[in-house]
Structure 1
Amino acid sequence: MLTVDFDTLGVRAGQRVLDLGCGAGRHAFELYRRGLRVVAFDHDEAELADVSAMFTAMEQAGEVPEGAEATTVRGDVLDLPFPDESFDHVIASEVMEHIPEDDKAMHELVRVLKPGGRVSVTVPSRFPERICWALSEEYHRVEGGHVRIYDRRQLFGRLRAAGLRPVHHHYAHALHSPYWWLKCAVGVNRSDHPLPRLYHRLLVWDMLKAPWITRSLERALNPLLGKSIVTYLYKPGATVA
């Protein structure tokens, strides 16, 4: 399940992309399939090991075009181990809401981006996230949990202050918002409750089959209930080749 629209971001085969806070690697895998040179970056060593194993499996299965590259790097988002202007694009999907010093993370993101390069930053959108916080303290008051709720103006304001200029935004994953509301209502760590389990089955079916009815419903609901706000910005300067 991808949150970032790669066509809107403007990625092209051969470009170097940083997937910042890659997690399980969902965006990194698709970028690799598209022929980009991908760096999957995260602090979680175990998740990076799984991502690296998947990169190897994709190559062995012949899923990767010639010229594509993929590697994993572990480190701190507040002190990225890359030289200035190293990447054509940067993705930071569902990362900033976990970082107390998000302004420092944003400045690091801009530092490693080439002039003219584009960024996509996604965070939980305000309305669905406020409901989750109201329903459950456990949802956000845990180690590594969400430390803030962004609204669109605040997010764009912080990214502008870091040196980026907005291009576009949209909302995504409206059908996932009710799932998290159910999880928060019954207990986020309860895997045995039938309501979230049944709803999760619906989400899996939707992701695998992509039927027109749920795809159309989600597109209609995204502006109001989209779980994520997806932003696209660029770093002023010469256009990335």
Structure 2
Amino acid sequence: MLTVDFSRFPLAAGDRVLDLGCGAGRHAFECYRRGAHVVALDRNGEEIREVATWFAAMKEAGEAPAGATATALEGDALALPFPDDSFDVVIISEVMEHIPDDKGVLAEMVRVLRPGGRIAVTVPRYGPEKVCWALSDAYHEVEGGHIRIYKADELLRKMEEAGLKPYGTHHAHGLHSPYWWLKCAFGVDNDKALPVRAYHKLLVWDIMKKPAATRAAERLLNPVIGKSFVAYATKPHVPHDVAAGSPAAGRGPAARDGGSREDRA
């Protein structure tokens, strides 16, 4: 299940990609299949070892093109072990809401992204996330859990202040918001509740089979209750400090020409 839409965020074979806070590796695996040179980085050593195992299995099965490479690395998002301008593409999906110093993470991503490179940032969407917080303290009051809820304009402003130029936004996973509302209502650790189990079966069926009915339903639901907000941006071909203070990096229409008002709700 991908949150980044690669039709809006093009990836070329040979691109150097950093999947920052890769978790189980879903976006890293997709980039590897597309022929990129992928680095999947996460602070969770257990997950990184699992991602490395899957990379090896994909290579053995011929799922990645010849010439593509993939590395799984344990590391700190606030102190990335890479030189400046190391990557063509950076992806950070459902991570920034967990990190107290989100500006520091953005600064590190901008540092390792080459001028002209592209970045995709995804976070829980404001509306659906507020419902989850209202229904359950346990949903977010856990170690390493969500510590903030972003409004779309707030996230885009922080990206611009970091020196990035947003060019498009959208929402994803409209079918998943009701599932999390049910989880929060019945208990986030209560997987035995009948409504939760029934809805989970629906999601598994949708992910595995991709039936036309649920695909159409999600397209209709995404603008309204999509669980994730997704923003795409580029790093301008100018020094970081100039980009951050220039009119092009400001909050005017030129910096937001990729997303409609509905897209940024």
| Alpha-carbon distance in structure 2 between the residues aligned to 1:192 and 1:222 | 27
Q: Is 1:97 matched up with 2:97?
A: yes
Aligned residue identity for 2:98 = H
Partner residue in 1 for 2:220? 220
Distance 2:49 2:62 in 1: 20
**Which residue of structure 2 lines up, in the alignment, with residue 164 of structure 1?**
164
User: Secondary structure of the residue that 2:109 maps to in structure 1?
Assistant: helix
Correspondence for 2:117: 117
Letter in 1 for 2:150: Y
Provide the C-alpha distance between the structure 1 equivalents of 2:158 and 2:64, rounded to a whole number of angstroms.
36
- Give 2:260's aligned residue: none
State how far apart, in whole Å, the 1-side matches of 2:132 and 2:3 are. Answer: 19
The separation in 2 between residues aligned to 1:63 and 1:72, in whole angstroms, is 17
What's the CA shift string for 1:87-117, capped at 9, x where partnerless? 0000000010000110000110100000000
Q: What's the counterpart of residue 54 of structure 2?
A: 54
Instruction: Give yes or no for the alignment of 1:41 onto 2:41.
Output: yes
Moved more, 188-197 or 36-45: 188-197
Runs of 4+ in 1 over 4 A off after TM superposition: none
Match of 2:130 in 1: 130
Give yes or no for the alignment of 1:26 onto 2:33.
no
Structure 1, unmatched stretches of 5+, are: none
Shift in Å, 1:192: 1.7
Where does residue 139 of structure 2 map in the other structure?
Answer: 139
1:216-241, CA deviations, whole angstroms, 9 ceiling, x for partnerless residues? 11111111100001110000018xxx
Q: More deviation in 101-110 or 188-197? A: 188-197
Using the TM superposition, give the Cα deviation of residue 2 of structure 1 relative to its aligned residue in structure 2, in angstroms.
0.3
For 1:35, the aligned partner's letter is: G
Measured after TM superposition, the shift of residue 119 of structure 1 is: 0.3
Paired residues, number: 238
Deviation, structure 1 residue 209:
1.0
Give SS of 2:17's match. Answer: strand
One-letter amino acid matched to 2:196: P
* Equivalent-residue separation in structure 1 for 2:191 and 2:182 (angstroms): 11
What residue in structure 2 maps to residue 184 of structure 1? 184
1:150 aligns with 2:136: no
TM-score after normalising by structure 1: 0.97
Task: Work out the percentage of aligned pairs sharing the same amino acid.
Answer: 59
Segment drifting more, 112-121 vs 208-217: 208-217
Write the deviation string for residues 36-62 of structure 1: whole angstroms up to 9, x where unpaired. Answer: 000000000000011000000011111
Query: What amino acid is the match of 2:21?
Result: G
Counterpart-to-counterpart distance in 1, 2:217 and 2:208? 16
Give the drift of 1:7. Answer: 2.6
Q: 5+ residue gaps in structure 2?
A: 239-265
RMSD across aligned C-alpha pairs, in angstroms? 0.8
Tell me, in whole angstroms, the C-alpha distance in 1 between the residues paired with 2:88 and 2:6.
Answer: 13
Deviation at 1:5, TM superposition (A): 1.1
The TM-score with structure 2 as length reference comes to: 0.89
